[in-house]
Structure 1
């Protein structure tokens, strides 16, 4: 009896031990099964990208003639008392590191004013060029591209002020030709160009123009630019008048909130009369931009423009008795950026001259003029 009890207890204990070991082994085996993780495949950036920009605006003029057109020396945001679009751009760019190109189309009041002399086939081309690297750190592009001249561009959202300075309005926004760019080092870039001319896609004579650009960025806070232009910009049936031009600007980020910029342009064009003094013009501007908060900023601008006989700003071929053009201007900008790709802006601007230079609503000449411009712009 005792033997049977002892044997039963032993068998029971052995069974329990065996089941326990079986469960322990099973759990251990399951824990050791590791599902291999597949490393994410490396993705190459798409060389083809798309972009767009829309700038809708409304402006109102004081003491200007009762028309929707602003003065003839203003080309961007050049309509008043009218809701309209300054520039709407849609385009694509391709860059695989060795080959690049771009095609962009645009329309708006900016296009109507700036491309009035261009053929209908070309006036809606914002950019259209193809290029490649002839060797490392260099690009060679041919076609239509943005100008190598100036601190301000056709895309208002990227500029410190809503409207363009007088110097920007009366120097090229775009060019057509061949462009060679060489990056000497990350701080210095050199560019040389052969162009059809001074902001013209189609050639207007049998001559070509040349241009240069030097961009130097010695620190993250300072950028210095020097651009030049040389060429005869008279139509084929007019006497040659060679034009020489230099654009200089520098930007400086004084603090995280305060940024400064100075711009100075000077140009000279030959007179048709033999022995006559060349027509010269010079213009300057200073900008102070301050970031009020993460979404609010303001910019103050002061500028002047002096042109003998109104050369270039009034006429590319001034007559001997044409009046000089001398104007000072100032503007104040307030910007609100609810998102990184949207900006809402309002700007007040005033002009004054030592002599009458415009006709007001009462058909009287006046030596001063002012306007207000507002805009909502988005880019993608």
Structure 2
């Protein structure tokens, strides 16, 4: 009887894929009409909806991910105009650095659970700074705030995540640098994230960065950055968010006035190049407001201010640098979930004429209208 029973039992086979394995895809197509009617085909100071008067793909990707009790990972391949713009500054100095292929690799990381509430992930993954995501479908507005286009969307390194309690969590990052997969110097950068949930609808997140952002042929230029986000879902149909960012970077050089050197040797100039002690600063603040008064509609508003007079992040070559305000309104049509249609108007104004204008001129203002179609599976 026992032998007959064992004979009836089917043989167990090892599963090739874990139960949590998932395949996904995303497509974000758009048309942007720029009221400045610029002669050029691309907008400056952004990575999103960059092409003027043209139908194109902002971002498309396919991905495979797994989330098991002891390990996790994600591999995503991407394409689009935002990809080409966002990865344009990847260093191209070495033949073995994967520089020709990294722009098409959105994420490629694997993680291990090393303690009951602690994970270690390594590889290429999304940056930890900022309220808005690289994936437009997840954001209240279609385009990104200045603050998001000038912090890392992606990073390469190691991330340690720990959940101290249901309310408090932390991340620690060791990275190649400020949004670069291929290294530009011999130093590593560090990042922190602190997140505290006061309630299920109110959360505070603090993101920080520290690292040298100068190439090896220049003096070290330490960059320090802090990003603070407060998010409040006040009602089921009403949400608020605010972000304030402050950055500082050590100046590249300082000119010391030493006329006695010139008197001693006329070939020596009166000003001598020396290592700078001063830091250059920049700031930006952003407010978001989102109404979802009906399951089929959502209206989101954004107001922002970007202040970079020393041109640390944004080089304009103008007197006041990049000192700009932005005002955005986005209407989302949600009836086709998981797809949506997005209509957005964006007005930006700067202290100097930095935006492209018709007939190869420049203007202090830029305003444009975007229609976008997106779907996330």
The TM-score bracket by the shorter chain reads 0.7 to 0.9
How far apart in 1 are the matches of 2:357 and 2:37? Answer: 4
Deviation, structure 1 residue 49:
1.1
Asked if residue 175 in structure 1 is aligned to residue 148 in structure 2, the reply is no
Are residue 67 (structure 1) and residue 40 (structure 2) matched?
yes
Q: Larger Rg: 1 or 2?
A: 1
Matches within 5 A, 1:70-89: 70-71=43-44, 73-89=45-61
Instruction: Map 1:96-107 to 2 at 5 A.
Output: 96-107=68-79
Q: Which residue is 2:371 aligned to?
A: 374
Listed one character per residue, the Cα deviations across residues 164-204 of structure 1 (whole Å, up to 9, x for unaligned) are 00000111100000000001112111000000000001111
Bigger shift: residues 341-350 or 353-362 = 353-362
Where does structure 1 lack aligned partners over 5 or more consecutive residues? 1-43
Is 1:187 aligned with 2:167?
yes
Q: What's the CA shift for 1:272?
A: 1.3
Instruction: Find the residue that maps to 1:144 and give its secondary structure.
Output: strand
Alpha-carbon distance in structure 1 between the residues aligned to 2:106 and 2:362: 37
The question of 1:329 aligning with 2:329 is answered no
Give SS of 2:114's match: coil
Partner of 2:294: 293
Correspondent of 1:203 among 169, 183, 186? 183
Q: Distance in 1 between matches of 2:340 and 2:176?
A: 35
Matched residue, 2:357: 360
For residues 143 and 324 of structure 1, what CA distance do their matches in structure 2 show?
35
1:339 is aligned to 336
Instruction: Provide the C-alpha distance between the structure 2 equivalents of 1:58 and 1:359, rounded to a whole number of angstroms.
Output: 18
* Equivalent residue, structure 2, for 1:90: 62
Does the residue aligned with 1:168 lie in a helix, a strand or coil?
helix
Superposed displacement of residue 121, structure 1: 2.2
Aligned partner of 1:214 in structure 2 is 194
2:25 counterpart of 1:52: yes
Query: Whole-Å Cα distance in 1 between the matches of residues 302 and 280 of structure 2?
Result: 27
Once the two structures are superposed, the pairs formed by residues 151-166 of structure 1 within 5 Å of their partners are 151-166=131-146
Structure 1 residue 358, shift from structure 2 partner: 2.4
Gap change, CA 1:365 and 1:339, over 3 Å in 2: closer
What does residue 250 of structure 1 align with?
A: 230
CA positional deviation for 1:365: 2.7
TM normalised by structure 2 equals 0.85
Q: Report the Cα offset of residue 217 of structure 1.
A: 1.3
> Take 1:155 and 1:100, find their aligned partners in 2: how far apart are those partners?
20
The question of 1:279 aligning with 2:280 is answered yes
Q: Is the 8 A contact 2:319 2:352 kept in 1?
A: no
TM-score by length of 1: 0.84
Deviation per CA, 1:44-86: give whole Å up to 9, x if none.
9812111111101110112252122011x11122112111111
Corresponding position: 1:270 with 2:267: no
State the distance in 2 between where 1:352 and 1:323 align.
13
Question: What per-residue deviation string (whole Å, max 9, x for no partner) do you get for residues 203-224 of structure 1?
Answer: 1100000000011112111121
Q: SS state of the match for residue 186, structure 1? A: coil
**CA contact 1:279–1:308 (8 Å) conserved in 2:** no
Contact map agreement 1:178 1:195 (CA 8 A) in 2: yes
Identify the residue that residue 80 of structure 2 maps to in structure 1.
108
Shift of 1:323: 4.2
SS in 2 for 1:113: helix
Distance 1:67 1:224 in 2: 41
- Which SS does the other structure have where 1:303 is aligned? strand
Match of 1:223 in 2: 203
Q: Deviations over 1:282-337 (max 9, x none)?
A: 0011111001311101011110100032211228xxx9x87421001101110011
User: Counterpart in 1 of 2:126?
Assistant: 146
The Cα of 1:276 is off from its aligned counterpart by 6.0
Q: Once the 2 structures are TM-superposed, how far is the Cα of residue 100 of structure 1 from its aligned partner?
A: 1.1
Equivalent-residue separation in structure 2 for 1:366 and 1:67 (angstroms): 14
Q: 1:365 to 1:276 in 2, by over 3 A?
A: farther
